[in-house]
Amino acid sequence: MTILVIGATGRVGRHVVKQLIARDAKVRILTRDASKANFPIDVEVAQGEILDLGSLRNAFKGVSALFLLNAVTGDEFTQAIIALNIAREAGVERVVYLSVMHADRFVNVPHFAVKSGAEQMLKQMGFSATILRASYFIDNEAMIKDVVLNHGVYPMPIGGKGVAMVDTRDIAEVAAIELVRRDQAPGKLPIETINLVGPETLTGEGIAAIWADVLGRPIAYGGDDPSGFEQSMATFMPKWTAYEMRLMAERYVSDGMVADASDVERLVAILGRPLHSYRETVTTLTAL
C-alpha cells in the first residue's frame, strides 16, 4: 500500500520520505511544484495543494496511511481540517500527525492552538493516529547563526526553565517507524501521543555556553525580553510570523518545555540509538 506524505519538501518531510524509502515503503508526496520535488524516481509525485480539493482527492487514491505536516501559515487550521476530512472521505484512517509539545497548554500561540484543534479532530473522528508532539527544532538555530557569529550574542529568549530542543532527523525517523507500524498493522491501532524531545534540557545561558565552547570565544545570552527578538525575526519573515515566534518565546520563558526522563527513554527505545544533541548542530553550523 501507499503512504502519502503531506509536507514532504520541508526540513522534516524530506527526512520522513528518506526514512520511509529506507524501510521499503511505497511513498507518494503532495507538492505544489513537482519540478522542485527532487526525490528518488520511485517516489510518486502528486502535484497540487491541500486547498485544491481536486488534486488533494487525487493524491489520496490508493493510499493506506498519511503523514500530515501543516506548515505554519495563516490558513494552517483550514488546511489541517480539509486534509483530515478528505482523508476520512478516502477511507484513510491511519495517520501520523506532527503536532507540538504543550499544544493543549500554549493556546495563545496560534500554531500551537491550531495543532491542538487538529489533535481533537483525530480523536473525535475515530482515526488510528500517532500524534507526535515535537519540541522546538534544533535545526531552527540556523536562523540565528549569523547573529551569534557576528555579534557574540545568542538572541532567542529561551529563559531559565529550559527547552528540550529536538533534531528533525529524530522527528522524521520516529514518524517513519510509526507510519510503517500503523500501515502494516492487521487491525486498527489506538491513538498514541509521543513527545519528541532532545537528550537534554537547554536554558538560554546554557545554550550560549555551548556556542562559546564550540567557538572558543565568549558568547552572551541576550536575555529573556522578547521584543528585540521579534524585531530581528521580522527583518526576514512576515511580521505575523515574527509575532508568533515572540509569543512562543514568552511561553518558553514563563513555562519552559521540559521533557520527562521517560520521554527520552521512550525515544531511545523506539530508535535503538541515542538522540542527536544540540552541540552536534552547533558544531555543524560553525563548520559551514
| pLDDT the model gives residue 102 | 97
Nearest 10 degrees: CA dihedral of 17, 146, 248, 113? -30
For residues 5 and 174, what is the distance between their CA atoms, to the nearest angstrom? 14
Strands (E), the chain: 2-6, 26-31, 44-47, 63-68, 94-100, 128-134, 153-154, 192-196, 220-221
Please calculate the CA angle 228-233-235 and round it to the nearest 5 degrees: 105
For residues 115 and 84, what is the distance between their CA atoms, to the nearest angstrom? 12
274's CB contacts (< 8 A; 6+ apart) are 199, 268
| pLDDT the model gives residue 24 | 96
For residues 49 and 52, what is the distance between their CA atoms, to the nearest angstrom? 5
Q: Name the band, by pLDDT with cuts 50, 70 and 90, for residue 173.
A: very high
Cell reading at 254: 514563563
**88-119 residue pLDDT tens:** 999 999 999 999 999 999 999 999 999 999 99
pLDDT at 199 over 80: yes
Mean pLDDT score of the chain, rounded to an integer? 95
CB 259 within 8 A of CB 135: yes
Cell reading at 207: 545554550
CB 135 within 8 A of CB 275: no
pLDDT at 75 over 90: yes
For residues 41 and 184, what is the distance between their CA atoms, to the nearest angstrom? 23
For residues 148 and 83, what is the distance between their CA atoms, to the nearest angstrom? 39
201-218 mean pLDDT: 98
CA 100 to mean position of chain CA atoms: 7
175's CB contacts (< 8 A; 6+ apart) are 12, 16, 19, 67, 96, 98, 132
| pLDDT the model gives residue 37 | 77
Q: Name the band, by pLDDT with cuts 50, 70 and 90, for residue 204.
A: very high
**Nearest partner of 38 among 5, 9, 3, 7, judged by Cα:** 9
| pLDDT the model gives residue 66 | 98
For residues 1 and 185, what is the distance between their CA atoms, to the nearest angstrom? 12
192-207 mean pLDDT: 97
pLDDT at 288 over 90: no
**140-160 residue pLDDT tens:** 999 999 999 999 999 999 999
Backbone angles phi, psi at 141, to 5 degrees: -65, -15
For residues 243 and 248, what is the distance between their CA atoms, to the nearest angstrom? 9
For residues 196 and 278, what is the distance between their CA atoms, to the nearest angstrom? 14
**In a 3-state reduction of DSSP, which class is residue 210?**
helix
Which domains, and CATH codes, for the chain?
Answer: 2-136+167-196 (3.40.50.720)
The number of beta carbons lying within 10 Å of the beta carbon of residue 152 is 15
| pLDDT the model gives residue 41 | 87
| pLDDT the model gives residue 208 | 98
**Sign (positive or negative) of CA dihedral 51, 52, 54, 57:** negative
Q: Are strands 63-68 and 94-100 parallel, antiparallel or unpaired?
A: parallel
pLDDT at 228 over 90: no
